[in-house]
Structure 1
Amino acid sequence: MDNNVQQSVVAILSRRPEVVETGPFVIGWDPTTDSRNVSYATPRPGAAVTADDVAALVAAFRAIDRIPRLEYVPGCCPELESLLLAAGFAIEARHTYLACTPATLAPLPVPDGFELIEPSTDEEHHGGLSVQNEAFGGEATATPADVERAARTQRNGGVVLAIRTTTGEYAAAGLASPPGAGLVEVAGIATAERFRRRGLAAALTAELAATAFRRGAQGAWLEAESPVAGRVYERVGFVPSGQRLYIALD
């Protein structure tokens, strides 16, 4: 699973508006945002890496005025972490990733009083994105660039979903990336504070995976930033399967 997940990350970054390939690395970045969570690099699985490759990677990031930063599965490039640390990088986090297949998925219904939608208008995208932005500490109001990124995810074969009340108040949102190596990444799962602990995150996660599977994906993966989040995902069939490393040169 490690190699497939890493290949899917390469595919995700290769679909960014701008892509830079340097040595064994792929940098995917977006000129419309300086978010470190959007613009980052990853190694191709199994590639040999040298200190010179790392130096070239840093130079490539400087050339596009972005923070040198990587997200990757350490087991796919075992020597890389020590090379990055020697170059001055610092570890941000290690997250467990969980994987799901159509056989393990356990769908959950959306609770009464809510409806699930696949946004198709700017207004609908804006509603879901505003929930995500606020939940992750960003501006409460989504920007036109945010809306365009969500619409681009859909155009490229990904899934964007939101949950709102029957009176139109947006309560939760998330997405699944376009498939890469047969897998999609489920990400950005967010629930507005006043609607938490009602099962919305679990139902949304399950439906994102189910929709991706109906459209041809063979598996899905996501990350749990805490044991509590991990238990939510395990409820709908995601199984702890490996580790991912976040590391940057600030």
Structure 2
Amino acid sequence: MKDIAIVTGASSGIGKAYVRELSQDKNGYEQIWVVARREEKLLELKSSLEDARIVPVVLDLNSPSFADEIEKKLREDEYNVKLLINCAGLGKRALVEDQSVQALGATLDVNCRALTLLARICIPYMHKGSGMINVASSAAFLPQPGFSVYAASKSYVTSFSRALAVELQPSGIVVTAVCPGPVDTEFQANATDGKASEFTGFRKYIVADPVKLAAASLKAHRSGRNLYVYGISQKMLHLASKIVPISLMLKFMKVKK
């Protein structure tokens, strides 16, 4: 039985950082499946790491057929999914009314539907000692006007992950929801259609390094945590969301129309 790791959103950002971390573990996995839409980016990653264990899997998680393709590939051999990292994500900083139906649907499909289906597909190929990391966000802790769909989708990821952790605990499978704040990746530019590619003001002091985030969250996962909030400022936000009424916090959130 081949021990494998599967990382979605592997072509850039946090997903790419996870792949680099896993590649440093020379004895942990026989194959590392890197999943993303951009084949050239996956091939660049494999070449840069010079790791023969990396298997590029070109898939669009927004496609209705992606689940069948992953399941078909898993059936090809006797695989043990030792680690699944659901890292792919979409989101736009915009009012709901200013986003297309297609864009909203894509956000929900990738952030919620694809993550859930991948978890379901991989569970039968997991065994005692296997694990799953679902990358959520500190945006999950409270509603965020102007970023509402993304924040709500990450709230779903966090809730789903923590419930799934309890369901799979008897099987010896650890599930961890990882909740960082802003991370220094291309997501920022994509979320604002290129209008904000750099962090400014207070945000530049709390932005996370994707490499440090990947390393720290893997350590937390291996220690058995089912929720990992990265960064002091995000831990404070998490605490505040438990103490301060959400209705009060929303009064201080304003959006431009």
Higher relative contact order (CA 8 A, sep 6+): 1
Structure that is richer in strand per residue: 1
Give the TM-score of the pair, scaled to structure 2: 0.29
Structure that is richer in helix per residue: 2
Give the TM-score of the pair, scaled to structure 1: 0.30
